[in-house]
Structure 1
Amino acid sequence: MRWEIKSFDQLTTAELYAAIRLRVEVFVIEQQCPYQDLDNADQQALHLMGYDGENRLAAYTRLFNKGIKYAEASIGRVVTASFARGTGAGRALMEESIRQIYQQFGQQPIRISAQQYLEKFYTSLGFKTVSEMYLEDNIPHVEMLKA
């Protein structure tokens, strides 16, 4: 996987289009969840993009410094393309996201809002559940923290 990280202003229109397309494909269409993906937070995020050997966007996250989404740094819009699932791309994406948070913003706690069915996966990456289940866009979520 080839990784690129860019601020909103550094993204090309093609990169932005690919990221939004992937997010809509998974979060809106696959998960059948009509919601407003464009939340005016992209402009404050670093965008981590993982490309496969054919230069296709396979994995993507948004990274935020502390004080933007939460009191802690955070990772959001964690998404893996359907063609990349089952290859370890999701784990590689989260490991690179954590590494980039530390590199870009310094070693600090990281908070995520995780879909509850992925709780065990995030626990394996060092996150601990710190909230009760709540519904976000009608999907069960929990907040998790990596200290």
Structure 2
Amino acid sequence: MALFVKTFNELTLDELHDILQLRSEVFVVEQDCIYQDIDGKDRKALHVFLKKSGRIAAYTRCFKPGDYFEEAAIGRVVVPMDLRKFGYGHDVMKASVTAIKNRFTTQKIKLSAQTYLIDFYKSHGFIPVGEEYLEDGIPHIAMIIT
């Protein structure tokens, strides 16, 4: 298992392709949600991902404060369906929190969680804030760690 933390310009074309393919596979096809995944924010993001045998096993994109939310942010947390049982989502979340703390020197991080994953994010220290809302037709809630 290899961990990568890269800016947009540091990604190889193959890595960018594999990231976008995975996000489309899960967020568009698996979750049956038509939305604009390529939203122009990838260029500002720090891309954190794990590779196993040359394949992306888990991914997030992270933002410095002010680029997405007022706080630093983690988004597009994704693991391929057939790899979810191995805990790679936990590994990439830990790596993402560490990357934000090290690169952006902040402790406060916000994310928009699909509500069925609240316990997953709580296990990483995030707490729900505010009310549940729909994002692209899927129930979400804001969560923050300080």
TM-score band, normalised by the shorter chain?
over 0.9
Identity of aligned pairs, percent? 47
Structure 1 stretch displaced more, 2-11 or 22-31: 2-11
Is the CA contact 1:72–1:108 (under 8 Å) kept in the aligned structure 2? no
What secondary structure is seen at the aligned counterpart in 1 of 2:86? coil
What residue ranges of structure 2 are gaps of 5+ in the alignment? none
Separation of aligned partners in 2, 1:17 and 1:114: 24
Partner of 1:38: 38
Partner of 2:27: 27
Is the CA contact 2:72–2:106 (under 8 Å) kept in the aligned structure 1? no
1:83 Cα deviation from its structure 2 partner: 2.4
RMSD of Structure 2 on Structure 1 (CA):
0.8
1:75 Cα deviation from its structure 2 partner: 0.3
1:107 Cα deviation from its structure 2 partner: 3.1
1:30 Cα deviation from its structure 2 partner: 0.2
* TM-score, reference length from structure 2: 0.97
Separation of aligned partners in 2, 1:137 and 1:81: 20
* TM-score, reference length from structure 1: 0.97
Q: Does 1:18 align with 2:15?
A: no
Q: Which amino acid aligns with 1:21?
A: Q
What secondary structure is seen at the aligned counterpart in 2 of 1:70? coil
Is the CA contact 1:48–1:62 (under 8 Å) kept in the aligned structure 2? yes
> Which string of whole-angstrom CA distances, capped at 9 and with x for unpartnered residues, describes residues 50-72 of structure 1?
101x1211111001000011110
1:10 Cα deviation from its structure 2 partner: 1.1
